[in-house]
Amino acid sequence: MTAAQGPDRVVVVGQGYVGLPLTVRAVEAGFDVVGFDVDKSRVDRLGHGLTFIDDVTDDDVAAALATGRFRPSADPADLAGFDVAVVTVPTPLADGAPDLSAVSAAATALAPHVRAGCCVVLESTTYPGTTEEVFVPLLEADGPLRAGRDFRVGYSPERIDPSNPTWGFRNTPKIVSGVDAGSADAVAAFYARLVDRVVPVSGTREAELAKLLENTFRHVNIALVNELAVFCHGLGIDVWSVVDAAATKPFGFMPFTPGPGVGGHCLPIDPSYLSWQVRRTLGQNFRFVEIANDVNEHMPDYVASRATAHLNRERKAVNGSTVLLLGLAYKRNSGDARNSPAITVAHRLLDLGATVLAADPLIDAAQVPPGVALVEVSEETLAAADLVVVLTDHDVLDWELVGRFADRVLDTRRRLVEPGTDRL
């Protein structure tokens, strides 16, 4: 659009951990943005200047609203008239297969509003082929316009890392692709106004697979060091010292650290998209993914077994013991508990009959499992616990206090340095 016509109109479908940071950045860049979500309560909160994710503050939302160029909406009629539409909806697994129902619903909702010259981008993580085989046909279903010929379609995988203090939406390189050269150029031009660097790739399938490779790489390497941690404990070797020593090599090695498992919106799910597609298309198993899934999914059970062993050494049973969990979010300095292994550990200990307390000042109380009492870290709660288990090492927790008053600790994150701390 020209300056006389006003700013380009952008629709962002999905206002969660991916869509909301994109929305706020697009408003900052001068776009007129509709933040669409089917969750009306979420839309209402945004309309009152309230956030619900770590990486966007209330002030950020209020500033976007104050420009007059941000309209949160749950009304499909507000999708009309867009120049660019970006779909950032969840793609969970259902019985081991990708659930594209939200992607399909978004494409169906956008289809009546597709017009010549517009651009539609899918950001949701999915298997290679989704953009061209699922997304495009739904966009084309309502009329004679065709992707590539009449309007532009592309894929640009999200790279959101909640609570990362170094890499945010703007300075993280953005992979861009299109169903044809014109679409690729349009997608690149849009994101070039939002981020410092765009990285064009040859096609949408390559872009879709690049996202899966990124997460599979991390998933597999975390599984490697998690299994190594289990073996090191049996061998009487400090796995953390081993990782530190290996990390001094300046080439050919990247350090990963063990923990109670993997969580969040990517690692427990995304690699399985690729495994599913390989099985469906080639009739083979993606063995690295299957093994990594098995190792990481069993880490909460391993942590529970280590907690049991620790209490046994004190001549105490899990049943009836008070266990204080430090951190329930899936990663440090975040309130995000999606697929958190800490939640699974809590369930395992409850099943074994423990009285489970948890301290996590960042998590929403609604995410705390039933049966778990949310408490503050204090001298009294630490001293009363038969065992303290460090699951998420938030900086806001008082670790000096924990070190002074927690007598029996199982630390899965190497946060404590006190002698006698039982490390993963």
State the catalytic residues: 266
Query: By the 8 A CB rule, do 187 and 156 touch?
Result: yes
Radius of gyration of the chain (CA): 24
75: which DSSP letter? -
DSSP, collapsed to helix, strand or coil, labels residue 278 as helix
DSSP, collapsed to helix, strand or coil, labels residue 33 as strand
DSSP symbols for 110-175: HGGG--TT-EEEE-S---TTHIIIIIHHHHHTTSS--BTTTBEEEE------TT-SS--TTTS-EE
Residues 6+ apart with CB under 8 A from 314: 386, 408
Amino acid of residue 111: A
Token readout for 216 is: 């599979």
The CB density around residue 219, as the number of other CB atoms within 10 Å, is 25
Residues 6+ apart with CB under 8 A from 107: 87, 134, 135, 138, 139
Across 20-76, the runs of DSSP E, i.e. the strands, are 32-36, 70-73
Rounded Cα distance, 332 and 413, in Å = 10
Query: By the 8 A CB rule, do 42 and 2 touch?
Result: no
Q: Residues, the chain, total?
A: 424
Instruction: Identify which of 407, 418, 419, 410 has the alpha carbon closest to the alpha carbon of residue 310.
Output: 410
Rounded Cα distance, 270 and 286, in Å = 13
Rounded Cα distance, 334 and 55, in Å = 9
